[in-house]
Amino acid sequence: MKITEGGVCAAKGFTAYGIHCGIRKNKQKRDLALIYSEVPASAAAVYTTNLVKGAPLAVTKEHLADGKAQAIICNSGNANTCNAGGEECAKMTCCALADALGIKETDVVVASTGVIGQPLPTEPILNGIPELVAGLGADKSCFAEEGIMTTDTVRKSVAVSFEIDGKECKIGGIAKGSGMIHPNMATMLVFITTDCSISSAMLQKALSGDVQNTFNMVSIDGDTSTNDMVVVLANGLAGNAEITGEGKDFTTFMRALNTVTVGLCRLIAADGEGATKLLECKVSGAKTEKIAKTVAKSVICSSLTKAAMFGADANWGRVLCAIGYSGADVDVGKIDVKFVSVKGEIAVCKNGAGLNFSEEKAKEILLEKEITINVNLNDGEFSSVAWGCDLTYDYVKINGDYRT
């Protein structure tokens, strides 16, 4: 398995593009993105668990009922959520795109991201579709990446190549996500493409299983978005024998998918609103996987821990505090904690009690851009990983005037 280039265009038969159509005031920012497969593809998706859901999710669920899709269109700048006529708007977008591409309306996935509660104007989208379709290219994933960004500061894409049935396959993904990230399904907006041949049922099984240990383990600010969606399209153009059940080929596909999703998780967490550091919490020695996950997410979600990491303060008591209120069945008297970065590692807690350590060395470690919080519960064989970021002054500034 090798890391490769191309984002959602890495796989055969996929093209993409992104434009500014007029939804966003800033004409320098793209606000409409398209991903297209030259042939119909197997499709799978997971969605937000928030009871308040964007209109595009309802339309996409309806369209993916048959497990097939051929195009994904996404606008940024407006979430098309809590709007009268929101579903009509989403369906109009799908219909217009289908006509322009010469495909079925039900083979279009539609997504939106941005401000909640404001009507989404359809005219800019409908007027922009011809330009969007005309600009499609196999080297234009970057334009689609820009088109789905909101408060993101960097584009996010990962792609890998792998072999199944003697055929080279590729899988690539793009994502947007910087704030309102605390999912319990998937996260943010993530679009993944592959030329591997795999049935819709197995693609859904792969995705649903993967998100439990990847996108479900990312938290920026404790807020679950209304528009979160992860969609995977598999067009089969790599030419491998179709994966229709579990086995060696399915395991290989799962590994490739996981490589892409973990990479996107890290990019999303590192680009949290106002963030200066990527935080990773690795929990080991748990009695059950559920306990390991609960502890890892609680530490990553702790505002006090996040603030301490921003200040490069080795305040390990905040880590134990987060474990203590997590609800997980742990023996506090067995917990060890270490802080790790490229500058080394330092043990700060042993068996639930503080250790004498160099504050200067700890600060040197915590001043780095990527920090790992290692927690050993010393109570079993299960482990888990969660990702997040530090909590900074800029997070409040960004969200204080997000709408206006």
Lookup: tokens for 97: 């795109």
Active site residue 187: yes
Q: Taking the CB of residue 348, how many other CB atoms lie within 10 A of it?
A: 21
Please state, in angstroms and as integers, the Cα–Cα distance from residue 297 to each residue in 218, 337, 383, 386, following that order. 8, 15, 12, 6
- Which residue is listed with tokens 């997000």? 402
Pairwise CA distance, residues 221 & 205, whole Å: 29
Query: Active site residue: 187, 193, 252, 392, which one?
Result: 187
Phi-psi region of 87 (alpha: psi -120 to 50; beta: other; left: phi over 0): alpha
Q: Is 307 exposed, middle or buried (0-12, 13-18, 19+ CB in 10 A)?
A: middle
Report yes or no: 379 and 287 within 8 Å, Cβ to Cβ. Answer: yes
Nearest CA to 337 out of 307, 290, 371 is that of 371
- Which residue is listed with tokens 């490739």? 256
DSSP letter string, 130-157: HHHHHT-BTT-HHHHHHHT-SS-SS--E
Report yes or no: 296 and 373 within 8 Å, Cβ to Cβ. Answer: no
Pairwise CA distance, residues 166 & 163, whole Å: 6
Q: Which helix (H) or strand (E) holds 295?
A: helix 289-301
Pairwise CA distance, residues 155 & 219, whole Å: 19
Report yes or no: 158 and 260 within 8 Å, Cβ to Cβ. Answer: yes
Q: Is 62 exposed, middle or buried (0-12, 13-18, 19+ CB in 10 A)?
A: middle
Q: Which helix (H) or strand (E) holds 96?
A: helix 86-101
Contacts of 255 (CB under 8 A, 6+ apart): 1, 162
Pairwise CA distance, residues 400 & 404, whole Å: 9
Q: Which residues are catalytic?
A: 187
